[in-house]
Each structure stands twice: as structure tokens, then as C-alpha cells.
């Protein structure tokens, strides 16, 4: 599985960003998904901006490494392949890709040793056609045509997520299976105990239906994918029911049992 690393992740370029909060929020989601290099082209209110650091919620390492450029051409001069993010049709003959397609292409280029990036436009007007023309493709998100206005940081978030997902779609280690699944022998023991007690209780009636009833029970329990601890607990439940634990309490609580 391809693992993200600073050398192989894309550069994120924000052209003329207007709000410090969006810069900070973009840095935050970049950090969430393992992207590290953020470039700003002529930010409206200059740089650095305290509100950006506040919005980054601790992702300061991304903002501390920000580099400034006067033009898009300067910002992408060292990059071999850049895709321009825009929701508006432009008068260009560039390929138009979804985020999934764009990420696949750029990850392939990155593995081949090329330096790649995503270019995002300003909040109010997006990217200018002259700057899009400097890119190799247009990346556009499949949003509803009735409302194409997407927050700058949200667009970065979707792109960063797609990059991370394509690079490694396994669950985080903290969510990995931590309990050992019950093996076949343990499940057979559970089946046998349950079926024996159900036989004693007269559950399998009429007798000719027993094979189908046993099969249904086993399928249902197998589908649960018991861990070893869950299988032991379930067998303990069967034992407790058979031994009649709690019967004294039930008799006291049942008015019909009173003299």
C-alpha cells in the first residue's frame, strides 16, 4: 500500500485567499490527511495572520512552513503537474477530472518522481482563466449544479481526503480488530451447548424440523462474528438460564406466586 510522505504528497496552492480563517482551516485539514506543503499567492491581508493560526487548531507546522508568491506562475514554477480546482466551466481545452480521477493521475506522477500540486482560487471569484491555462487539467467536484458555491477550505478538505483515501484506505490502527475472533472449535462448543439445552427444553418441535432449525441457529450465530470473549459470555448466559439463576427474584416479584 502506498503510504503518504512529505516527499510524495502534493503541494496545495491558494491563489489570493481573502479570509485568514479559510487559510487556517485549509491547513487544518491538510494536517488531518497528511499534506504538509501550503503555498499562498498574494493573500489579501498579507501574511502571517493570527486568525489563520487560531482556525488551524494546532496544525501550526503547516502554517509555519507557508511560502508566499506574487503570482500563480511563480508558485507553480517548480511543479511538473498541477490541477486547477474550479466549479465553473472555462474556455479551455484541458481535461476535466473528478477528484478521484485527479488524485489517481497525480499519485501516479508522484510515484514516478514528479512534483505535483492542486491550485485553488480565491473565495469570491475562483481562479482566472489565465492561471488555469498554466495547469495540466481541471479538477471539479460533483456538486449540485443549483448551488456551486463551495467554501475554499471545504474544497481543500475533499481533495486532501481523496488523496489520503487513495493512498491508504485501511482503518486507523486504533480501530483495528483488538479482540481475537472465536475459532471453529469454540463456536462448535457453543453450538453444541445451546442445541443440547434446547433439546432438553423441547424447543425442536416437531422433530422433523430440527435439522433446519439447527441450521438457522448456527447461521445466525456465525453471522455475529463472535470474539472469543463474546463466545464465552454467550455460553455463560446459556449456563445461567439452565441453572435457573434469578428464579427466586422472579417468584417474589410475580404476584401470582404469592399465597
Last residue of a domain, one of 174, 197, 228: 174
Q: Do 112 and 223 belong to one domain?
A: no
Please tell me the least confidently modeled range out of 136-150, 160-174, 179-193, 214-228: 160-174
Last residue of a domain, one of 174, 208, 228: 174
Residue with cell 448551488: 147
What rounded mean pLDDT belongs to the chain?
Answer: 87
3-state SS string over 68-114? EECCHHHHCCCCCEEEEECCCCCCCCCCEECHHHHHHHHHHHHHCCC
Q: What share of the chain is helix, strand, coil (3-state, %, to 5)?
A: 50, 10, 40
Under 8 Å between Cβ of 218 and 170: no
* Parent domain of 128: 11-174
Q: Do 111 and 92 belong to one domain?
A: yes
Please tell me the least confidently modeled range out of 58-72, 186-200, 233-247: 233-247
Please determine, for residue 2, whether its predicted confidence score (pLDDT) is greater than 60: no
pLDDT in tens, 193-231: 999 999 999 999 998 999 999 999 999 999 988 999 999
pTM score: 0.69
For position 172, what pLDDT does the model report?
63
DSSP state of 148: -
pLDDT in tens, 99-116: 999 999 999 999 999 999
Q: How many domains does the chain have?
A: 2
**Alpha-carbon gap, residue 24 to 51, rounded angstroms:** 7
As given in the structure block, the three cell numbers for residue 174 are 486504533
Q: Do 29 and 117 belong to one domain?
A: yes
Please determine, for residue 17, whether its predicted confidence score (pLDDT) is greater than 90: yes
- On whether residue 2 sits in a domain, the answer given is no
Amino acid at each position: 500500500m502506498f503510504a503518504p510522505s512529505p516527499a510524495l504528497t502534493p503541494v496545495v496552492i491558494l491563489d489570493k485567499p481573502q479570509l485568514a480563517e479559510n487559510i487556517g482551516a485549509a491547513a487544518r485539514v491538510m494536517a488531518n490527511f497528511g499534506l504538509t506543503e501550503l503555498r499562498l499567492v498574494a493573500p489579501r491581508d498579507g501574511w502571517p495572520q493570527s486568525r489563520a493560526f487560531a482556525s488551524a487548531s494546532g496544525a501550526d507546522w503547516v502554517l509555519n512552513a507557508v511560502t508566499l508568491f506574487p503570482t500563480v506562475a511563480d508558485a507553480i514554477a517548480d511543479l511538473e503537474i498541477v490541477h486547477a480546482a474550479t466549479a465553473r466551466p472555462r474556455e479551455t481545452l484541458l481535461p476535466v477530472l473528478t477528484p478521484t480521477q485527479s488524485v489517481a493521475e497525480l499519485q501516479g506522477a508522484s510515484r514516478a518522481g514528479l512534483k505535483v500540486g492542486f491550485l485553488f482560487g480565491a473565495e469570491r471569484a475562483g481562479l482566472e482563466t489565465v492561471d488555469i491555462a498554466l495547469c495540466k487539467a481541471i479538477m471539479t467536484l460533483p456538486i449540485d449544479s443549483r448551488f456551486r458555491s463551495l467554501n475554499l477550505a471545504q474544497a481543500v478538505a475533499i481533495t486532501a481526503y481523496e488523496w489520503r483515501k487513495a493512498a491508504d484506505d485501511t482503518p486507523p490502527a486504533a480501530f483495528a480488530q483488538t479482540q481475537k475472533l472465536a475459532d471453529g472449535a469454540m463456536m462448535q462448543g457453543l453450538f453444541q451447548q445451546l442445541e443440547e439445552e434446547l433439546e432438553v427444553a423441547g424447543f425442536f418441535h416437531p422433530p422433523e424440523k430440527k435439522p433446519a432449525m439447527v441450521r438457522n441457529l448456527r447461521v445466525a450465530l456465525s453471522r455475529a462474528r463472535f470474539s472469543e470473549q463474546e463466545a464465552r459470555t454467550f455460553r455463560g448466559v446459556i449456563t445461567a438460564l439452565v441453572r435457573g439463576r434469578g428464579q427466586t427474584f422472579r417468584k417474589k416479584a410475580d404476584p401470582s406466586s404469592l399465597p
